[in-house]
Structure 1
Amino acid sequence: MKSLNTLFLLVGLAFTAVSSLSLEAYSRNDFPTAPGFVFGSGTSAYQVEGAADEDGRSPSIWDVFTHSDAGHSGGATGDVACDQYHKYKEDVKLMADVGLEAYRFSISWSRLLPSGRKPVNPKGLQYYNNLIDELVTHGIQPHATLHHFDLPHALEDEYGGWLSPQSVRDFTAYADTCFKEFGDRVSHWTTINEANVFALGGYDEGISPPGRCSPPSAVNCSKGNSSTEPYIAVHNMLLAHASATNLYKKHYKHKQHGSVGISVYTYGAFPLTNSAEDKQAESRLNDFFIGWILHPLVYGDYPETMKSFVGSRLPAFTEEESEQVKGAIDFIGVINYMALYVKDNSSSPKPNLQDFNTDMAVELTVVGNTSFKNQYADTPWSLQQVLLYIKEAYRNLPIYVAENGQMTPRISSPLEDTTRVEYLRSHIEAVLHSLRKGANVKGYFQWSLMDLFEIFGGYEMSYGLYYVDFKDPFLTRYPKLSAHWYSSFLNGTLHHRSYASSSAL
């Protein structure tokens, strides 16, 4: 069976596939107008801010991970990154130049609350107030994420971070601080980014912060238990999310009129064969990846499939906890990059120590060509499939496409990113098809605003609308062809307009 280690690495690899969607002309006017539907772009704090040890910020688990031997970024770190901490005004101007209607960013918990708890760091508070004010001044809707792989390392050291129920209390207090300080201008809150993949990478495969794992799942970790810890971490994250969401509903929603959601990494999936077993395997993949997070928040408990296949290693909600998590969600953030073929593997012998991979009991194959040298392919059906699945399985929850974009290797002529233009064109079309089929989609956020630090590959992977010259001490940003296309689309020009060059916006 292909391990999730391989699959995580393939998130940054290229693939090709034939789109099942028709090619048609469309424009921004075919979508609901803002704020009913918004188009934006996104980043996260550790990936763009830099200033890692400035103005009172303390290390997060991501800082410690990238500085360790376990890091998978080729020795690169986010110590400087894109220096958005100092260049936020310039970057907001770039957003305005493109015409972004919204910007998805994350707040660094360890910049705002360096110890993980109060007191608030005044410099961190000032930075996020300045950034949010700048966005609002330029008419850009701020969408804030509270945790993007970056728990304060002080809490990891103190009690094991997300493996301890104490994390629920501390996250709720942190969320309360953010709601209080920024909620007069921020109406869209995501509690935890990619809760499922964060748990698998950090507690099963050990390939992302905090880098915990155990044999036979992985062997490159000095501590951890891949058989139990991913499930424990997600359980505590769900309780923390619910606690923060219910706090917001009780104390802030009536005056701030905002919403709180959580984001989930998803795959568009297709059974490898028409056999009943492979179709069941596809359903199981959806339960394990999407249902793991959404089922408790919509129905109050984990999917029956997970409970059956994982057994006693899957934590159980008490009756009180079930009541707390059920309904504690205003929207779901969908993160989608790739598509998979799914084959049943439930009849294979199980090892003595099982993990998420063996529990799920499927074989996964990435659709298309996965050579790093090739460009990302056009698999918009993957995104459409996920949006429609959530519509049917989870009561048509409001959805924001929180991340969707194309990785290309950094090359000598980076501005002519024609394949990224086609990727954006086809995936935005997939969102339009999903809307017309009744999916409750409220926004689309391209990943990412600019080239930035990636957890795999450091600065060798490019997702940005803007090229960042990391060899330039000023970290100068340059618009790519994709920035021009997105700008033209947002300003009402049809998607099929071609560009001869990437002159300045």
Structure 2
Amino acid sequence: MLHCITTIFLSISRMTMEDGPIAESYFTAYADVCFREFGNHVKFWTTINEANVFTIGGYNDGTSPPGRCSNCSSGNSSTETYIVGHNLLLAHASVSRLYQQKYKDKQGGSVGFSLYAFEFIPQTSSSKDDEIAIQRAKDFFYGWILGPLTFGDYPDEMKRAVGSRLPIFSKEESEQVKGSSDFIGIMHYFPALVENIKLKPSLSRNTDFYSDMGVSLTYLGNFSGFGYDVFPWAMESVLEYIKQTYGNPPVYILENGTPMKPDLELQQKDTRRIEYLQAYIGAVLKAVRNGSDTRGYFV
């Protein structure tokens, strides 16, 4: 039997997640309709798609909807990024609680949360500062989302770096968010080089997600639009890190693959993508054999 994974929430237009409790209530009501109408056909739900990069793109960089940032016509990269991330987690917990209380027994489905997963490697292999910066990058990209879902709170390093601009979970909210995801969905395409950065005092007030993280990222691969480079070891490393750091939750790889130019010869003999998928599926198999609870792979 074919089971599909359906994402409730892809992007926002009129309703924006900086609206807090109002957006949470609307989102929960919307999810209620989705569960009621489609729950007999869908067994796996993800509430938020690529929560970390959605929030960074929409509220730190301003490059994706709703296009807010400090250098945009409206927005504040130093605060809204974290407020929205916080609200997404609370909205997810609300939807998960709704499903557990109202639909789980009848439909038997699962509700998960998804994020974009980079593998981070040091810009300079001999640099201790870059090695330390890798953990900060993981705390900000992974721990920002998986910390609350697993432990009920943000990573200590993130709390130290962001300070009072990082929202605080109440005891009740922490209990609601912790354990609210039946599985973790990940999107993975390529790794990133990490370089430690130290801001000059004159620039210290220009804070955003990246300056708080204190790293510079260089993405590896061919970004011409067609044909990503192949880094299957990065996929294996991502799954291993999630296993070791966040209690080995069930994982579904929701996105992976490489685009290619439209080409008749390629359609008849698509060797490159066959080799790409063989390499990545092999990496997932290695991770599973090493104990990762990875249960599905989508391209």
TM class by shorter chain equals: over 0.9
* Amino acid corresponding to residue 189 of structure 2 in structure 1: Y
Give the TM-score, by structure 1 length.
0.56
Assess if the C-alpha contact under 8 Å between 1:383 and 1:430 holds in 2: yes
* Amino acid corresponding to residue 8 of structure 2 in structure 1: L
Aligned to 1:148: 10
Over 3 Å counting, the alpha-carbon distance change for 1:374 and 1:185 in structure 2 is closer
Q: Distance in 2 between matches of 1:401 and 1:354?
A: 32
* Amino acid corresponding to residue 212 of structure 2 in structure 1: D
Partner-residue secondary structure (3-state), 2:224: coil
Aligned to 1:89: none
Please say if 1:429 is aligned against 2:282. Answer: yes
Partner-residue secondary structure (3-state), 2:195: strand
- Alpha-carbon RMSD: 1.7
Assess if the C-alpha contact under 8 Å between 1:261 and 1:329 holds in 2: yes
Q: Distance in 2 between matches of 1:299 and 1:191?
A: 19
Q: How many residues align?
A: 295
* Amino acid corresponding to residue 17 of structure 2 in structure 1: W
1:350-392: CA deviation from partner (whole Å, max 9, x where unpaired): 4312000111101222235x35177321101111111110000
Partner-residue secondary structure (3-state), 2:241: helix
Give the TM-score, by structure 2 length.
0.93
Over 3 Å counting, the alpha-carbon distance change for 1:308 and 1:254 in structure 2 is same
Q: CA deviation at 1:169?
A: 0.7
1:84-233 alignment, distance < 5 Å? 139-149=1-11, 151-153=12-14, 155=15, 161-165=16-20, 166-215=22-71, 221-233=72-84
Question: Which protein has greater RCO, CA pairs closer than 8 Å, 6+ apart?
Answer: 1
Q: Distance in 1 between matches of 2:13 and 2:220?
A: 37
Q: Distance in 1 between matches of 2:262 and 2:161?
A: 42
Assess if the C-alpha contact under 8 Å between 1:378 and 1:422 holds in 2: no
* Counterpart pick for 1:406 among 258, 261, 281: 258
Please say if 1:249 is aligned against 2:100. Answer: yes
Q: Distance in 1 between matches of 2:226 and 2:31?
A: 41
Partner-residue secondary structure (3-state), 2:191: strand
Please say if 1:309 is aligned against 2:161. Answer: yes
Q: Distance in 1 between matches of 2:265 and 2:210?
A: 39
Aligned to 1:335: 187
Q: Distance in 2 between matches of 1:410 and 1:432?
A: 30
Partner-residue secondary structure (3-state), 1:208: coil
Assess if the C-alpha contact under 8 Å between 2:235 and 2:284 holds in 1: yes
Q: Distance in 1 between matches of 2:261 and 2:68?
A: 28
Assess if the C-alpha contact under 8 Å between 1:376 and 1:419 holds in 2: no
Assess if the C-alpha contact under 8 Å between 1:268 and 1:381 holds in 2: no
Q: CA deviation at 1:177?
A: 1.4
* Amino acid corresponding to residue 277 of structure 2 in structure 1: L
Over 3 Å counting, the alpha-carbon distance change for 1:396 and 1:203 in structure 2 is same
Q: Distance in 1 between matches of 2:212 and 2:148?
A: 19
Q: CA deviation at 1:418?
A: 2.7
Structure 1's unaligned 5+ residue stretches are 1-138, 156-160, 216-220, 447-505
Assess if the C-alpha contact under 8 Å between 1:195 and 1:237 holds in 2: yes
Q: Which moved more, 1:264-273 or 1:433-442?
A: 264-273
Structure 2's unaligned 5+ residue stretches are none
Assess if the C-alpha contact under 8 Å between 2:226 and 2:258 holds in 1: no
Please say if 1:392 is aligned against 2:220. Answer: no
* Amino acid corresponding to residue 245 of structure 1 in structure 2: S
* Amino acid corresponding to residue 163 of structure 1 in structure 2: E
Assess if the C-alpha contact under 8 Å between 2:191 and 2:234 holds in 1: yes
Aligned to 1:287: 139
Aligned to 1:33: none
* Counterpart pick for 1:440 among 285, 289, 293: 293
Partner-residue secondary structure (3-state), 1:270: strand
Partner-residue secondary structure (3-state), 1:267: coil
Over 3 Å counting, the alpha-carbon distance change for 1:317 and 1:411 in structure 2 is same
* Higher Rg of the two aligned structures: 1
Q: Distance in 2 between matches of 1:425 and 1:358?
A: 38
Aligned to 2:171: 319
Question: Percent of aligned pairs with the same residue?
Answer: 49
